[in-house]
Amino acid sequence: MTEESRTRSGSGAVTALGVAAAMAVAFTVWLGLWVTPPDAFQHNLVRLLYIHPPIAWVTYLALGVTALASALYLWPRTRSAFWDRLAGASAEIGVVFGALTLITGSIWGRPTWGVWWTWDARLTSTALLELLYIGYLALRQVPGSMPGRGKRSAIAALIAFADVPVDHFSVLWWRTLHQAPSVLNADLNPTIHGSMAWTLMLGFIAFTLVYGWLLAMRYRIAAAKDATEDVALAAAVAERRLEGGTAGIVGAKA
């Protein structure tokens, strides 16, 4: 298979993933707004259930991929620019979905709790997680050699990931306004059933597909940027060598 055919095949797969993600999200919206019934207590507010937990799940997934890719970059046997680019691309998506988690949670919390924000354990740990990964992305922009930047970024990503289990289990470790998990609870006894359960499951699948498509696209952009910088660096080095050679010839003639 030629390089061109591999590129076309990869583009086709990414396009198919994007189409599948769009269809799954659209189907989730249709089920969530028009098919599933309102809740006995939250009424139509329960429809936020079909997007808020899946968005939060993607945040964890993206940051988990960043941590795994960072660990593989730090291990000498698997160290490569691929893992560094993957970690950075996934972290960017994680920060976006982390912000969406806070926004949708506030929209849900306002009519439920009566406030847009409270220093609840879950909300506070989620906000801290968002700040940690914004700091990670800022660290990646600090000038330096690629190996040095990759190592310090990978270490920062692993340190920041320590807040993920704290954030997830905060509703169990402390008394919070935020409800405990409805599906993956300690008793493994889901408190949601029927069409609501299927719609929630579809929401998780839909947003996971969205994450996969975004990751593929963002990684491509990062790889293209690195390739452009490599070409520019090679051209600059060649130009300096040419200038040095010309100066040497002129000096010899003089």
DSSP structure string for the chain: --HHHHHHHHHHHHHHHHHHHHHHHHHHHHIIIIISPPBTTTBGGGGGGGTHHHHHHHHHHHHHHHHHHHHHHHSGGG--HHHHHHHHHHHHHHHHHHHHHHHHHHHHHHHHHSSS----HHHHHHHHHHHHHHHHHHHHTS-S-HHHHHHHHHHHHHHHHTHHHHHHHHHHHS--SSPPPSSS-TT---S--HHHHHHHHHHHHHHHHHHHHHHHHHHHHHHHHHHHHHHHHHHHHHHHHHHHHHHHHHHHH-
What are the 10-residue block averages of pLDDT along the chain, 254 residues in total?
Answer: 52 92 96 89 87 95 98 94 96 98 93 88 95 96 87 96 94 81 60 84 97 96 79 58 59 54
**Closest of 71, 93, 69 to residue 83, by C-alpha:** 69
User: For residue 228, what pLDDT is reported?
Assistant: 74
**Closest of 225, 234, 209 to residue 84, by C-alpha:** 225
Report domain extents, the chain. 3-226
User: For residue 175, what pLDDT is reported?
Assistant: 82
User: For residue 2, what pLDDT is reported?
Assistant: 46
How many Å from the N-terminal Cα to the C-terminal Cα in the chain?
Answer: 56
pTM of the model: 0.85
Tokens of 117: 């924000």
Q: From CA 132, how far away is CA 12, in angstroms rounded?
A: 35
What is the third-level CATH fold of 3-226? Four Helix Bundle (Hemerythrin (Met), subunit A) (1.20.120)
Q: What are phi and psi of 212, to 5 degrees?
A: -60, -40
Number of other CB atoms surrounding residue 38 within 10 Å: 12
CB 83 within 8 A of CB 91: no
Partner residues linked to 39 by β-bridges: 43
CA angle 2, 7, 12 (to 5 degrees): 125
Residue type, 220: R
CB 161 within 8 A of CB 63: yes
To the nearest 10°, the Cα dihedral for 240, 241, 247, 250?
-140
User: For residue 5, what pLDDT is reported?
Assistant: 47
User: For residue 8, what pLDDT is reported?
Assistant: 58
User: For residue 160, what pLDDT is reported?
Assistant: 97
